[in-house]
Chain A
Amino acid sequence: MSPEAVVRDIELRSILALSPLEMAKVILSGADYHPGLWRESPAWEQIRHDERYMKWINFLEMLQLSHKGRRWTKSQWGAAHAHVHRLAYGPKSRGDLQASPSERINASRAAIRRAIRHRFDEARSISLVCVDVETAYESLSPGESYYFMGSVLRFDRDRFRVGYDHVKGTATLDLAVGFDEVSDFVARSFGPRRFSDLFLKAEVVAHVHFSEDDGGRVEAGNFDESAWTRFSFSSPILAAAEREIQSPIRFAQPLAVSDVTRLV
């Protein structure tokens, strides 16, 4: 055991009795690079620079075309996901593992890979999130949202919301806590550099609803001209499947999104 290791006995009832502010601190203090965007991995670098993946500027163009009636099929939206899955798990990839001696482990690996591959195919609706990986922020701002460990956190003056969806206005967890208290805790816990790595400005910008006989119908929030500069133009658009019960970190292993405007 390292000198830094500490063992504590903790009564489970105390977890159930946490105040909203204490719960907010529990979540924020867990900040880590995993799960989340592995920005330095080869697959992630490819998403950032390969033109087949949708960026913020492509999203704005897609929105304009969508308003004029253009639609794209699920397989067109999901072609990028199929591509990144091959990069991540195909032959000679990082995920192309040697078989384990355990049949049970091999079976669970195979099940996980199938599930990752088919998440896009099985989705009836997807949420699109824009994550600004180009601009470094050093502290929280009220009214802003951030990508954090695969979740989208929204910080308002009197609320802290986890797993926030800007299009629907819903959250997995909605805590009545003041911005100043949360902001003070974050400032005490993270230096500017670590903050800029762990808190990336982000927003759920649209949903795409799929049907059997039609292309995907895009549902977006309000985007006037002032929205154009909300993110760096090269910020990636990523996706997660819409589910009855949403994971608070549903963008932890995001779905890659095709730049469908290239198909016009």
Chain B
Amino acid sequence: MSRDLFELVRLAKDEALAAGVVGHEGSRLRVLFSELRRWHSPTEWIVFYRHAGTYYYPLAFEFRSVNNNLLHLVLELGIRDFDVLASFVQDSLQRHERLETVVRALVVEMPSEPPYAVPLRDFSISEALRDLVYL
């Protein structure tokens, strides 16, 4: 999701691609852009920031990733555990998109409070379901 991404996702007037993080090398994300119905990856990584022990969710992903309402699920429906969130997302991907995608968390440890992000109070992510990188 760099400076040219909004042009990439919206290729032409009224034409858009779904975006999902399908891998990473440290903080370098591998992002797959595709029509939603053709988007497929064995793994999708959900990016969270963490600063001073608090998780944050990037607003950019809330509006444009394949699963574009995770923050809504956490804040509105009170899901406080990534394991439950991942189960729900995997179930939804399987039922609606026929995707057998495994959802994991990429936690980015930040030296300062991240911009364009919303704090998630009392949210937890088990070590088994996450990769941890440092900026």
Binding site for B on A (CB under 8 A): 1-2, 4-16, 18, 22-23, 25-32, 34-35, 97, 100, 102, 104-105, 107-109, 111-112, 115-116, 119, 149-150, 162, 172-173, 185, 188-191, 194, 240-241, 243-250, 252-253
Contact = CB atoms under 8 A, between A and B. Distances in A.
Contacts of A240: 76
B99 to A, nearest CB: 14
B128 interface: no
24 contacts: A4-B38, A5-B34, A5-B38, A6-B32, A7-B32, A10-B5, A11-B2, A12-B27, A16-B114, A18-B60, A22-B6, A25-B6, A26-B60, A29-B64, A31-B16, A35-B69, A109-B88, A112-B73, A115-B77, A115-B79, A191-B13, A250-B76, A252-B72, A252-B76
Interface of B: 1-3, 5-11, 13-14, 16-17, 22, 27-35, 38-40, 47, 58-60, 62-64, 68-69, 71-73, 75-79, 84, 87-88, 90-91, 95, 108, 114-116, 118-119, 121, 135
A8 B1 CA distance: 9
A105 B87 contact: yes
B58 to A, nearest CB: 7
Given A15-B60, A194-B14, A7 B31 contact: yes
Given A12-B29, A14-B2, A247 B63 contact: no
Contacts of A31: 16
Nearest to B96: A34
Given A30-B68, A108-B84, 6 more contacts: A4-B17, A10-B1, A26-B5, A26-B64, A27-B64, A115-B76
Contacts of B119: 245
Contacts of A9: 28-31
A8 B6 contact: no
